[in-house]
Amino acid sequence: MKISNDIKYIGVNDHLTDLFEGQYKVPNGMSYNSYVIIDEKIAVFDTVDIKFTNEWLDNIKNTIGDKTPDYLIIQHMEPDHSASIEEFLKVYPETVIVTSKKAYAMIGQFFKCQEITNSLIIKEGDTLSLGKHNLTFIEAPMVHWPEVIMTYDAEDKVLFSADGFGKFGALDKEEEWETEAARYYIGIVGKYGVQVQNVLKKAAGLDIKTICPLHGPVLNENLGHYLNLYDTWSSYNAEKDEVVIAYTSIYGNTKKAVELLSKELEAKGQKVQIFDLARDDMALAVSEAFRSTKLVLATTTYNSDIFPFMKTFIHHLTERNYQNRTVGFIENGTWASTAARTMKKMLENSKNLNLVDPVVTIKSAVDETNLEQIKALAEKLS
C-alpha cells in the first residue's frame, strides 16, 4: 500500500486471533500496521505480532530490496507491535533503534538476551532527518502505555499515531469505522481521557493530512470527523442521543420489563439499544453506553449482590471513568431486593451522573405497579 511517494505500508492482517488482548472479540480480525519511509535514509515504523514476523520481514524486503533500514522507530512496546524486534535485528543488525527512554527499558524486559548495539533515545520535540523527510517526536504517555511516542513527518504531513485512531478489524475486511473504533478506543484507551486530550492539543498545532495508526485503516479524508470523535470520547461526552438498556435476566421477568420499557421509549421517538449482558458482546455494550446519553441498568438481586454479568459491566464502566450521563434502574427480587441500591453504590464515585427515579422494582414478575413505573421511567428518559 502506498501512503505517499516515499511512505509505504508494510503491515499484516491477522485472522488467527479470536480474542484481542485475550478479551475483545475480533470477528473481522486485526491489522498490525507497520510503515517505511524511503529517503536518503530509511526508517521503519514499529514491528508486528510474533505470529507474523516472517510475513512482515518479507514485506520489508519486497519494499526496500537489498537496502538496510537505517532506523527502526519503536513507538509502542506492546507485543503486538514490538514482538518482532529481535528477529528484525538478526536480519538488520546495524539498524539504529529509535525510541523513548521508557520503551528502551522495556525492550530489555521483553528481550532479555538481545543486545542493542545501536540506539537513539528520543524525547518530546526531538527531530530526526531522513533527507527531505524531517521527523518530530511527540510524547504520548498513557495512550495507552507510559512509553508511547507518536511521530510527525513534516514533508508529507503524516502523523504516525501509535495506538491512537486505531480500530478492530483487518484491512482486507470492509466495515464502517466508528463502531469498531469506538469499541477499540473505549475498551483499551478509554480510561485515559485526560492524556488523550493532551495529545489532541499537541496535534492541533500540526498540519496533518494523513493519520497512520498501528491498527486499522490509514485515515486521509475528513480528518476533522475522526479528530472530533476522539475529542468527544476523551472528554467523556456523549456522541448520540440514545438510550442503552443493559440487562441480565434469569427466568425472563427482568427481560420482559426491559422490552416494555423499550417499547415505551420508542413510542416517544427515542432510539434504544438493548444488550443482554450474558450473551451479547460486553465490550460493545460498554462502548455504546459511553457513546450514548442515557443508560438503564436492569438486573436481579443475586447472592445478596447483583448478577455477575451486571457487576462486571458496571466495573467496566467505572474503571473507564464513566460520567456525564443519565442513568435509570430496573431491579428484580423475590425477597430482599437490593439490586438498585447495589448498582448505585458501584456508581457513587462516577462524576456528574443523573440517577433518575422511579426505580422499577419487580417482585418476581411484572405487575400493574411495574407498568406504571416503567411508563414513568420512560417519561424521564425521553
Q: What is the band of 267 on the pLDDT scale with cuts at 50, 70, 90?
A: very high
pLDDT of residue 114: 75
What fold does the segment set 7-234 form as a domain? Metallo-beta-lactamase; Chain A (3.60.15)
Query: What distance in Å separates the CA atoms of residue 34 and residue 36, rounded to the nearest whole number?
Result: 7
> What does the pLDDT average to over 3-30?
97
Half-sphere exposure for 193 (CA within 13 Å, toward CB): 17
Query: What distance in Å separates the CA atoms of residue 70 and residue 267, rounded to the nearest whole number?
Result: 63
Q: 150 exposed, middle or buried (CB, 10 Å; 0-12, 13-18, 19+)? A: buried
pLDDT of residue 8: 98
Strand order from edge to edge, sheet including 134-139:
127-129, 134-139, 149-153, 158-160, 210-212
Query: What distance in Å separates the CA atoms of residue 326 and residue 292, rounded to the nearest whole number?
Result: 10
Q: Give the chain's mean pLDDT.
A: 96
Cβ–Cβ under 8 Å, residues 320 and 190: yes
- The predicted-structure confidence for 240-251, as pLDDT tens digits, reads as follows 999 999 999 999
> What does the pLDDT average to over 181-187?
97
- The predicted-structure confidence for 214-223, as pLDDT tens digits, reads as follows 999 999 999 9
Beta strands at 326-332 and 360-362: parallel, antiparallel or unpaired: parallel
H helix or E strand, kind and range, residue 116: none
| Phi/psi at 282 (5° precision) | -60, -40
- The predicted-structure confidence for 319-369, as pLDDT tens digits, reads as follows 999 999 999 999 999 998 999 999 999 999 999 999 999 999 999 999 999
Query: What distance in Å separates the CA atoms of residue 329 and residue 341, rounded to the nearest whole number?
Result: 10
- The predicted-structure confidence for 69-78, as pLDDT tens digits, reads as follows 999 999 999 9
User: Is 240-381 the same fold as 7-234?
Assistant: no
* CA geometry: angle 168, 172, 176, nearest 5 deg: 50
Which residues on neighbouring strands pair with residue 13, listed in sequence order?
31
Q: Say whether pLDDT at 294 is over 90.
A: yes
Q: Say whether pLDDT at 315 is over 90.
A: yes
240-381: CATH homologous superfamily?
A: Flavodoxin domain (3.40.50.360)
> No. of H helices and E strands in the chain?
12, 22
Cβ–Cβ under 8 Å, residues 144 and 135: no
pLDDT of residue 336: 86
CA 234 to chain centre: 11
Query: Domain limits of the chain?
Result: 7-234, 240-381
Q: Say whether pLDDT at 117 is over 90.
A: no
Grid coordinates belonging to 80: 503486538
Half-sphere exposure for 327 (CA within 13 Å, toward CB): 25
